[in-house]
Amino acid sequence: MNVTTLQTIADIINVSRSTVSRVLNNKWERSGISRVTADKITVLAKDLNYLKNDTARSLREKKTFTIGVIVRDITNPFYSHIIKFVERALYAKGYTIIICNTGYDLDRESSLINSLISRRVDGIILSPIQKSIENISIIKFRNVPLVLFDCNIDEMKADYVLVDNEAGTMKAIEYLISQGHKEIGYIGGNSYDSNNRLRYAGYRKSMQLASLSIHKNYVKHGRYTFKHGYDSATEILRSKNVPTAFFTANNRIMLGACKGIMDCGLQIPDDISIIGFDDFETATMLPNPLTVIRQPVQEMALNAVALLLSRVDKTNNIPYVTSLLKTELVIRNSTKDIN
């Protein structure tokens, strides 16, 4: 069986080999090639089962056209949606991605980073664990283009794509306060995590600006898990004094808290209101759809890809860039006006 090459296609259509190459690498428009010719080449390549020689392309351009994407929890809808938009944007630019999941494990993160570097990826998009300084330093030492997203690492200079966690949380707390809530609980993630620190700062600032007290028993920090949300909500609600509303620091904590509220024999929002950070599909499926702070997931992904490729292609000479994106309060039916 003969292998189809660029020259095979060129000979059949009676064009040059370079014309075929430009079309199949999606560069035909800038090269002045007509759509009619481009369509002929594309159709014939498909009919003949043409496969690109990526090895030759890599040697020629000194790139592997692969990008490593490392996230902390691939089962979390936030990260799976980020990956979807990153993959789509990179595919359009001729790149494939290698997806890695750390599970919040520093040793695993280090191993995955070394694996990606050994595979000669052109760049890495990483959602780092808060204590990842040594692991990130490995990437920087090897001069591999890097963009960090979703988590700011203290004292680590790098390119970042982040959301304004503090302002986003303030929107949520101020909305609850506007509905008459004065006793508001906070169920957050790890106390050392930068996202949780900023979300908690937004909670505290909003409460202080409204001259409202923060009850120590209403504040619970822990893991970003369903179990932590459930355990925290039930512990607070089974105590002597209870809040009228909860703010939860991510989608999984929110779902756990909702289950805890129901298991305590209470109804949302009639007995207790709840708002969470992160929008997710399940939030719209509950009997009372959940009010949330929505992160601009697609914008985060596109910004990360554009920033990384500007480093890969050496078109960006700014030392470090931080893209800080705004969140949105999505009002549904999980809070009650008690004014």
pLDDT of residue 24: 86
pLDDT of residue 132: 84
Q: Rounded CA gap, 224 and 216, in Å?
A: 20
pLDDT at 30: 79
Question: Which pLDDT tens digits describe the chain residue by residue (339 residues)?
Answer: 567 888 898 999 999 999 988 888 878 877 888 999 999 999 998 888 887 766 556 556 678 899 999 999 999 999 999 999 999 999 999 899 999 999 999 999 999 999 999 999 999 999 999 888 899 999 999 999 999 999 999 888 999 999 999 999 999 999 999 999 999 999 999 988 999 999 999 999 999 999 999 999 999 999 999 999 999 999 999 998 999 999 999 999 999 999 999 999 999 999 999 999 999 998 999 889 999 999 999 999 999 999 999 999 988 888 899 999 999 999 999 999 999
At 51 the pLDDT is: 77
Question: Under a CB-based contact definition with an 8 Å cutoff, are residues 76 and 251 in contact?
Answer: yes
Tell me what pLDDT residue 56 has: 57
- The pLDDT of residue 31 is 80
The torsion defined by the Cα of 301, 165, 279 and 174, in degrees rounded to 10, comes to -150
Task: Give the pLDDT confidence score for residue 192 in this predicted structure.
Answer: 86
Distance CA 79, CA 72 (A): 8
Placement of tokens 């007509």 in the chain: 34
Q: Can you spell out the DSSP letters for 79-119?
A: HHHHHHHHHHHHHHTT-EEEEEE-TT-HHHHHHHHHHHHHT
User: Token pair for residue 12?
Assistant: 């059949």
Cis peptide before 319 (omega within 30 of 0): no
Task: State the distance between the two ends of the chain, measured CA to CA, in whole angstroms.
Answer: 78
Indicate the residue type of 142. Answer: R
Q: Given the structure tokens 């980020």, which residue do they identify?
A: 82
Q: How far is 192 from 185, CA to CA, in rounded Å? A: 19
Q: Do 152 and 163 contact (CB within 8 A), yes or no?
A: no
pLDDT at 52: 74
* Predicted pLDDT at 330: 97
Q: Which residue has the tokens 């039930």?
A: 234
Helix H or strand E segment including 161: strand 159-163
pLDDT of residue 54: 62
Q: Could you give the 3-state DSSP secondary structure of residue 124? A: strand
Q: Assess contact for 153 and 132: CB atoms under 8 A.
A: yes
In the chain the domains, ranked by start, together with CATH numbers, are: 6-52 (1.10.260), 62-163+297-325 (3.40.50.2300), 165-295 (3.40.50.2300)
Global model pTM greater than 0.85: no
